[in-house]
Amino acid sequence: MAVPLRVVRTVKALRATIAGFRSRKSSIALVPTMGALHDGHISLVRLARRLARRTVVSIFVNPAQFAPYEDFGRYPRTWKVDIAALAAEKTDLVFAPEVAELYPEGFATRIAPEGPALAGLEDKFRPHFFGGVATIVAKLLIAALPDIAIFGEKDYQQLLVIRRLVRDLALPIKIVGGRTVREKDGLALSSRNVYLTPDERKAAPILHRTLQESAAALVGRGSLAEIMAHGKMAIERAGFKIDYFEARHAETLVPIASPKEGPIRLLVAAKLGTTRLIDNLGVPLKRS
């Protein structure tokens, strides 16, 4: 008979359940999410199951990482579907707190990340974002104290901010990046793709295509400035308004002027109508 999925709503219950897992010597992987789960999240849950004995998934739409004018209120919430998907994946535990559990009355302590959080990419357009992410991720990690925590590479800058956070706070947790899952036409899966109109959905794969073409041109030793200018034009021609399309050092996110300064990560954020999409791609290292 299928075992019902265990859901806890408080930090106390989360800790007690994880202590039970630990008493049976189980390793723990945590997959933090904001729900509205898609195959990208499910691939992270599967990775967690491969890397640890017990998988814990948190579902919490974190108000602190949304600006007042952003989509916190209308962010997709698909609880029943999410729970069914996690049960099918044999997830051991779901942590789904109310806002007041993680931000109690009088909450007054926030983390202000620097380094990769101030790279001039997402932070330039969403200045509140990484403070909110770092604060909630630190809270989740400290509450669960997993061996491993898994985050999608689609939010590449976020992944680097979290790696830095864990190092700086000396948390004994390994951060693992999960590869980006894409639709057949290359569009990176995202909970926000549901906002796209049919026409926007048709145009959206140009982001990934441009990343691929630019990466290939860089491997072919083309001029970085020309390749990036060409890529920008292609994205704009498809109807996007670009926030950034940049080549950065893959580990530090420092801007680079020549492919020799790599390893390179190409990163893009652009708006199609009212929907903002982000994506990124590593440029394979040359073998010379």
**Contact positions vs ligand PAF (CB under 6 A):** 32-34, 62, 65, 133, 136-137, 151, 155, 158
Nearest-angstrom CA–CA distance, 172 and 124? 30
Cβ distance to ligand PAF smaller for residue 147 or 236: 147
Under 8 Å between Cβ of 280 and 268: yes
With CA atoms as reference, report the closest residue to 287 among 237, 236, 220: 220
Helix, strand or coil, per DSSP, at residue 234: helix
Question: What are the Cα distances from residue 187, in Å, to 207, 212, 284?
Answer: 7, 12, 20
Minimum separation from the CB atom of position 34 to ligand PAF (A): 4
Under 8 Å between Cβ of 283 and 213: no
In the set 41, 128, 208, 249, the catalytic residue is 41
Label residue 15 exposed, middle or buried (CB < 10 Å: 0-12, 13-18, 19+). Answer: middle
Cβ distance to ligand PAF smaller for residue 34 or 96: 34
Minimum separation from the CB atom of position 58 to ligand PAF (A): 7
Cβ distance to ligand PAF smaller for residue 151 or 262: 151
DSSP state of 3: P
Cβ distance to ligand PAF smaller for residue 136 or 227: 136
Minimum separation from the CB atom of position 168 to ligand PAF (A): 17
128 belongs to the catalytic site: no
Under 8 Å between Cβ of 202 and 166: no
Minimum separation from the CB atom of position 33 to ligand PAF (A): 5
Cβ distance to ligand PAF smaller for residue 137 or 204: 137
Minimum separation from the CB atom of position 191 to ligand PAF (A): 8
Nearest-angstrom CA–CA distance, 33 and 112? 21
Catalytic site residues?
Answer: 41
